[in-house]
Structure 1
Amino acid sequence: MMRQVELGKTGIAISPIGLGCWQFSDAVGIGGRYWPALPAETMHEIIKISLEGGITWFDTAEIYGWGASERALASGLKECGVEPGDVVIATKWMPVMRRAESIRKTFADRVKCLSPFPVDLHQVHFPISFSSIEKQMNVMADLFEEGKIRAIGVSNFTRKHMEKAHDALARRGIPLAANQMRYHLLNRRIESNGVLELARERGITIIAYSPLAQGILSGKFHKDPGLIKKLTGPRKFLRMFKPAGLAESKPLVDCLEQVGKTCNASAAEVALAWMIQRNGDAVVAIPGASKPQHAKMNVRALDLKLKQEEIERIDDVSRKVPGVRAVVPKNTIS
């Protein structure tokens, strides 16, 4: 049986890898312009491969095309014959320039876009709002108590913000299920800034987004830097896509490829396996997939079992990458 983990303390079981659906945004809006529009057939095939490979949950958001990603996800699930309740759906409310009351006002839109699939995990996308975190959590708690959502999460919350959210929900007798954070082998700040530590203490699942560093850890940009020019959106301007950044991460990619050769896996599959195995059940990952082969890679990572010495070897090489070295204390491996 495929390994399942509990989402926080909610009793909801999910696969250690879910499918991030940002790339289903149809190139619409602030969030959607990061990726090119994908044909419906491609999105449906990605969802089909994910389901058949054991992925049981999907993460989307209001800002991903202002509903386009949610609609594409629902369409793909229906195309695959999935019934409501067969999978776990996570989405997010966009808090910037809004008040907590907007959570309820926009929830009907989330339900409509995802219909007929219910919102299982509803998350606050950023800790930036005209309302306090406590007010936001209280509106979320109302939705939970009304049976409209099954779990409450946050995203991009610091330790301080996460603690405020947890405590506000605890006063209502509701657990904070998850904090979705950028986390990969080139960005391990949550290991040293208290986020992962508090998550472990409070039983909050960390959902790692961009677990492949937006494709850098696949090694494809090291092999063919010309691919960077073809990227849509601003990521091509990030330092890690520049020649100096590629040079810094190359030893890590080489290590991932070397480990992969021993188990017939790609660098990306090894990086994903490291993410979901190094931290036990405390961390799950949501890689995206803009091509069917990406989805196949994600599901292969679910079955890939790394040896402890391989996990530690990757850990050590990662620490030597400039920028990672400065923020990751040696004693964080578990």
Structure 2
Amino acid sequence: MALHLSNACFSALSRSSKVGAVRAVASEQGSVAVKTAEVEKLSLGGSQQQVTRIGIGAWSWGDTSYWNNFEWDDRKMKAAKAAFDTSVDSGITFFDTAEVYGSRMSFGAISSETLLGRFIKERKQRNPEVEIAVATKFAALPWRLGRESVVSALKESLSRLQLPCVELYQLHWPGIWGNEGYIDGLADAVEQGLVKAVGVSNYSEKRLRAAHEQLKKRGIPLASNQVNYSLIYRLPEENGVKSTCDELGITLIAYSPIAQGALTGKYTPSNTPSGPRGRIYTSEFLSKLQPLINRIKEIGESYEKTPTQVVLNWLIAQENVVPIPGAKNGEQAKEFGGAIGWRLTNEEVEELRSMASEVKPVIGFPVEKL
């Protein structure tokens, strides 16, 4: 089916396909890993959109309902800006946000989309040639009805981002009703040139197949499914979501890939996370996690890598997976950059999976059960 892209989106897409010499390697799952002189990239599913093998999650930017100890100030703003700039400097140019992150509807201080848009604009003023891939999401709120609501929400997101289009637009979670209309809305957004690729988030195997088939009828690939996935939360492997993504050529975007900090080695039974995370990653849970953390540290030392870099690399080794850890500051962003450019052995990957299986998994988000 012919797609009518806006000039802005088409030009951006053309520039992306011409950056440097590339070597493409097609996988059995349909995604294509692309290596440039700067950084390895992965095509999002069957779309033409390529992103870096690690992205940055911007959930914490402007948020005061889950992160930042319920406060936001100029110091946190500067730290978020440093996280953005350091990520780009490290070769990570894929950023994931959502209309609800930091927004009033989630009792936040300032919209994450607004901050990301501001950071991109300031960066491009200094470096006009830099290419940033932005992913944002549509909130399937019960009162949003019909395909038009998707396009309308996307236009509002684009206004906050100060962009003519985004690289990826996702349904943040399955709606209580109206999901077929939402999928049609995603397709409409592609045809109107407002987005280059479309995806879903927190979708089960059954919903994933249905969305894939519906978009296929419009000649548009379902590019991604964003789900909670980490070494200690492997539900996507157990419920068929990962295998379905591989089968259908859908990229799995992994949120909470370092288990919201629990896999970094930063927290211990006597030093649990603050805020809501402390109710999930309790002292008892962290005690059971210590043998795995110790082994992760040992493996990291053999590569001169940190535990964070090891667990992110573990996800990359699963293939067709793009982890998007959240970066609050430049130090974290720089560390994430060290997770790419090398690879754990198959034996190490399986050893860590085996050890992690002995730890009872933490509770995921309720939307995964919809």
Instruction: Please give the TM-score of this superposition, normalised by the length of structure 1.
Output: 0.88
Output one character per residue of 1:200-229: Cα deviation in whole Å (capped at 9) or x when no partner: 11100000000000000001112x73353x
SS at match of 2:199: strand
8 A contact 2:272–2:283 mirrored in 1: no
Matches within 5 A, 1:54-203: 54-66=91-103, 68-81=111-124, 83=128, 86-97=131-142, 98-100=144-146, 101-116=148-163, 118-131=165-178, 133-203=179-249
8 A contact 1:74–1:117 mirrored in 2: no
SS at match of 1:166: helix
Amino acid at match of 1:284: V
Q: CA deviation at 1:40?
A: 2.6
Q: 1:200 to 1:171 in 2, by over 3 A?
A: same
Amino acid at match of 1:7: L
In the alignment, structure 2 segments of 5+ residues that lack a partner are 1-36, 104-109, 363-370
Q: How many pairs were matched up?
A: 313
Aligned to 2:262: 216
SS at match of 2:155: helix
Instruction: Please give the TM-score of this superposition, normalised by the length of structure 2.
Output: 0.80
Q: 1:144 to 1:32 in 2, by over 3 A?
A: farther
Paired with 1:114 and 1:264, the residues of 2 have a C-alpha distance of: 38
Paired with 2:226 and 2:70, the residues of 1 have a C-alpha distance of: 20
Q: 1:182 to 1:36 in 2, by over 3 A?
A: farther
Paired with 1:264 and 1:25, the residues of 2 have a C-alpha distance of: 33
The two structures, once aligned, show a CA RMSD in angstroms of: 2.0
Paired with 2:130 and 2:168, the residues of 1 have a C-alpha distance of: 13
SS at match of 1:206: strand
Structure with higher helix content: 1
Q: 1:220 to 1:300 in 2, by over 3 A?
A: same
Q: Does 1:315 align with 2:353?
A: yes
Q: CA deviation at 1:313?
A: 1.8
Output one character per residue of 1:197-256: Cα deviation in whole Å (capped at 9) or x when no partner: 11011100000000000000001112x73353xx23x22111xx2122112211111111
Q: CA deviation at 1:308?
A: 2.4
Amino acid at match of 1:49: T
Paired with 1:197 and 1:68, the residues of 2 have a C-alpha distance of: 34
Output one character per residue of 1:174-208: Cα deviation in whole Å (capped at 9) or x when no partner: 10000000000111011121101110111000000
Paired with 2:214 and 2:70, the residues of 1 have a C-alpha distance of: 36
In the alignment, structure 1 segments of 5+ residues that lack a partner are 325-334
Aligned to 1:291: 329
Aligned to 2:55: 18
Q: CA deviation at 1:118?
A: 2.5
Aligned to 2:284: 244
SS at match of 1:217: coil
Amino acid at match of 1:90: A
85, 93, 108: which is aligned to 1:48? Answer: 85
Q: 1:322 to 1:50 in 2, by over 3 A?
A: same
Q: Which runs of 4+ in 1 moved over 4 A?
A: 30-36, 82-85
Output one character per residue of 1:139-167: Cα deviation in whole Å (capped at 9) or x when no partner: 11111111111111000011111111111
Q: CA deviation at 1:302?
A: 1.4
Q: CA deviation at 1:42?
A: 1.3
8 A contact 2:151–2:188 mirrored in 1: no
Q: CA deviation at 1:294?
A: 0.8
8 A contact 1:7–1:14 mirrored in 2: yes
SS at match of 1:221: coil
Amino acid at match of 1:91: T
Amino acid at match of 1:299: G
Paired with 1:105 and 1:129, the residues of 2 have a C-alpha distance of: 19
Q: 1:13 to 1:170 in 2, by over 3 A?
A: same
Paired with 1:172 and 1:309, the residues of 2 have a C-alpha distance of: 42
